[in-house]
């Protein structure tokens, strides 16, 4: 089968009948993620399945016409870059599935606002604007499942793997027969091997660095022992036994820790409270240049960065608990 070009869409072959699809230019930073398209295969699945392929509605239409119809769509967690356009798949007839407890965030942005703790730092109006910026629209109906559950679509087995360090619901997909492992948003976000990126993301209250490290180690062992190919939400295809994704993610966390340690060393941190230390370090723009950000984006980036900083402060030897 050949795969003719679609403008602004990259289509990469993972196996003969599994594609990794990537939207190149996106409306905003958090409006799209790469995902898998499982094409029909005799004896396995008669209809196409989409795994966490959040691209703009105009591309959903083209992809669905060409490779679909997509009967089922599985989301990996409810960060906006994984949810904003899922409604378009639903409009084209796909049944939407998402993991608990975040499945309900797809049907109402207010659930996203409260569920991720934005309500502790800003008005709902700011999150509505953030949703609009990324093109968020609600889904009408979402079937929920538990992270770690195995899903079956006709004879296709999709094991979901819980990676809760990133967010409570966050899952990867392992296709045992096809030996394809999709680690979703775990933090391997390099567009090319030679290009650096942000790495693991834990800018929310319920994210956890310790859990993150466990998740990375677990993902590494699944990949090396059981998979042939590794894909993720914001990166290229990796072939076993390349361990670069895992080394990259662990190193990024350590670099972030060093950054915070260094800032604490220079700010008399042994004498101040955790909240004061977070406020001090936020002013240093360690992770996000916030000086030019205005209004709701400043609020949102400040919230994310405050959690990244707080989590590193809590595990720093330069902070007196």
Interface ranges with Zn ion (CB under 5 A): 79, 185
Residue with tokens 């009408």: 140
The residue written with tokens 């072939």 in the block is 239
- Please, what is the minimum distance in Å from the beta carbon of residue 77 to Zn ion? 6
Query: Residue 126 or residue 167: which is nearer to Zn ion going by CB?
Result: 167
CB of 166 to Zn ion, least distance (A): 6
Sheet holding 229-231, edge to edge: 150-153, 156-162, 171-175, 180-182, 229-231, 238-239
Q: Phi and psi for 22 in degrees, rounded to 5?
A: -135, 125
Minimum CB distance to Zn ion smaller for 94 or for 185: 185
Is there a contact between 81 and 304 (Cβ–Cβ < 8 Å)? no
To the nearest whole angstrom, how small is the minimum distance from the Cβ of residue 275 to Zn ion?
26
H helix runs in the chain, sequence order? 57-67, 86-91, 109-115, 124-134, 209-226, 244-265, 274-282, 295-314
Nearer to Zn ion, 79 or 182 (CB): 79
* Residue with smaller CB distance to Zn ion, 185 or 281: 185
Six-digit token string for 175: 């296709």
From the CB of 110, what's the least distance to Zn ion, in Å? Answer: 19
For Zn ion, the closer of residues 72 and 233 by Cβ is 233
Q: How far is the CB of 185 from Zn ion (least distance, A)?
A: 4
The least CB distance from residue 300 to Zn ion, in Å, is 14
Residue 82 CB, nearest approach to Zn ion (Å) = 6
In angstroms, rounded to a whole number, what is the distance separating the alpha carbons of residues 19 and 59? 15
DSSP-derived 3-state class of residue 9: strand
Taking the least distance from each CB to Zn ion, the nearer of 175 and 185 is 185
- Cα–Cα separations (whole angstroms), residue 235 to 96, 153, 321: 24, 26, 38
Dihedral, 151, 153, 156, 160 alpha carbons, nearest 10: -20
* Three-state secondary-structure class, residue 25: coil
Nearer to Zn ion, 116 or 246 (CB): 116
CA atoms within 13 A on the CB side of 118: 26
């Amino acid at each position: 089968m050949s795969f003719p070009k679609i403008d602004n869409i990259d289509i990469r072959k993972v196996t003969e009948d599994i594609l990794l699809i990537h939207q190149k230019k996106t409306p905003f930073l958090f409006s799209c993620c790469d995902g898998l398209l499982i094409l029909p295969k005799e004896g396995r699945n008669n209809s196409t399945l989409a795994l966490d392929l959040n691209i703009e509605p105009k591309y959903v239409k083209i992809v669905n016409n060409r490779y679909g119809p997509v009967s089922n769509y599985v989301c990996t967690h409810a960060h906006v870059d994984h949810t904003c356009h899922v409604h378009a798949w639903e409009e084209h007839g796909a049944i939407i599935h998402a993991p608990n407890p975040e499945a309900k965030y797809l049907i109402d942005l207010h659930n996203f606002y409260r569920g991720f703790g934005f309500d502790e730092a800003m008005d709902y109006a700011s999150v509505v604007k953030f949703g609009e910026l990324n093109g968020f629209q609600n889904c009408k109906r979402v079937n929920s499942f538990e992270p770690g559950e195995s899903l079956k679509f006709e004879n296709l087995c999709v094991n979901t793997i819980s990676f809760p360090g990133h967010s409570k619901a966050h899952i990867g997909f392992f296709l045992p027969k096809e030996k394809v492992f999709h680690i979703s948003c775990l933090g391997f976000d390099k567009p090319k091997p030679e290009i650096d990126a942000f790495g693991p993301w834990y800018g929310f209250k319920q994210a956890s660095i310790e859990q993150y490290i466990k998740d990375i180690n677990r993902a590494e062992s699944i990949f090396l022992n059981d998979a042939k190919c590794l894909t993720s939400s914001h990166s290229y295809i990796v072939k076993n036994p390349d361990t670069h994704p895992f080394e990259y993610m662990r190193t990024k966390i350590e670099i972030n820790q060093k950054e915070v340690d260094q800032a604490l060393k220079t700010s008399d941190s042994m004498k101040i409270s955790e909240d004061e230390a977070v406020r001090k370090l936020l002013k240093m723009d360690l992770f996000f240049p916030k000086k030019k950000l205005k209004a709701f984006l400043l609020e949102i980036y400040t919230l994310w960065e405050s959690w990244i900083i707080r989590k590193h402060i809590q595990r720093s030897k330069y902070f007196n608990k």
